[in-house]
Homo-oligomer: A and B are copies of this chain.
Amino acid sequence: MEELAFSFDFISPYAYLAWTQIHGLAERHGLDVAPRPVLFAGLLNHHGQKGPAEIPAKRAYIFKDCLRRARVLGVPFAAPPSHPFKPLLALRAVHACPHEKRRALIDGLFAATWGGASAIGIDDPRTVARIASERGIDGDALVASADRAKDALRSETDAAISRGIFGVPAMEARGELFWGLDSLDLLERFLRGEPQPDAGEIAAFLDRPATAQRV
């Protein structure tokens, strides 16, 4: 089955909101969602960029925006116990998890982070183990093996960067990249076969010289 790659980090509320939508979208187009856990902080570090939560005015806006979008989508959305938090254990646990159980595990980890009244956070090994166990995965074994998935997470993050990814969520299908919750409509238009910008059109923009630079 053709893949729809979904790069994400649990730290991102937009990744959570997009995750609630991506399976329906993939099914409508006969695609198989391939979750790709990446470290958002690694993307930011590589691109020398601040994250939204690191700019106070943007942080305040972003949460309001997510509350609005969650209401429109009709999905639960609430504050995790802390933010930003350490997503490393949860991301590595997904890498350590058998492929056929990953969707259920990600569902549980996202729900425990952003999913409403039960938001309990996912930076504690016992919580991650319990969430996994509730979904038919041996939680203690998963947490014990998460440490060995360090390299897998690092490789996935580096590979995302090499494919042009600079933020999450990022969706890739049939060679095209879409970034952000707000691009799901454009992804769907692409999958329906609507015309896309061609290489020449894009090159016209990228070839333009800069005549100004911030100091």
Residues of A within 8 A of B (CB): 41, 44-45, 47-51, 53-55, 57-61, 63-65, 67-69, 71-72, 78-87, 123, 161, 164-167, 177, 179-180, 182-183, 186, 189, 194-197, 201-202, 204-206, 208-214
Determine if B179 and A69 form an interchain contact, defined as CB atoms under 8 angstroms apart. no
Tell whether, in the assembled complex, residue B84 and residue A197 are in contact, meaning their CB atoms are under 8 Å apart: no
A-B contact pairs, 11 of them (CB 8 A): A44-B214, A47-B57, A47-B58, A51-B214, A57-B165, A61-B164, A61-B166, A68-B197, A80-B208, A83-B205, A84-B213
Given A79-B205, A123-B212; 4 other pairs, CB 8 A cutoff: A54-B214, A60-B164, A68-B186, A71-B194
Given contacts A61-B166, A67-B197, contact A86 B55 (CB under 8 A): no
Q: Which residues of B are found within 8 Å of A53, using beta-carbon distances? A: 210
Q: Is B211 within 8 A of A65, CB to CB?
A: no
The one of B67, B68, B86 that contacts A211, using a Cβ cutoff of 8 Å: B86
Find out whether the CB atom of B202 lies under 8 angstroms from the CB atom of A67.
yes
Evaluate contact between B64 and A211: CB separation under 8 angstroms: no
**Residue on B nearest A13 in the bound complex, by CB:** B205
**3 pairs of A and B residues whose beta carbons are closest in the complex:** A67-B197, A63-B205, A182-B182
- Whether B55 contacts A208 by the Cβ 8 Å rule is no
Q: How far is the CB of A215 from chain B (nearest CB, A)?
A: 9
Q: How many angstroms between the C-alpha atoms of A175 and B86 in the bound complex? A: 35
Residue of B nearest to A176 (CB): B64
CB < 8 Å neighbour of A177 from B61, B180, B182, B189: B61
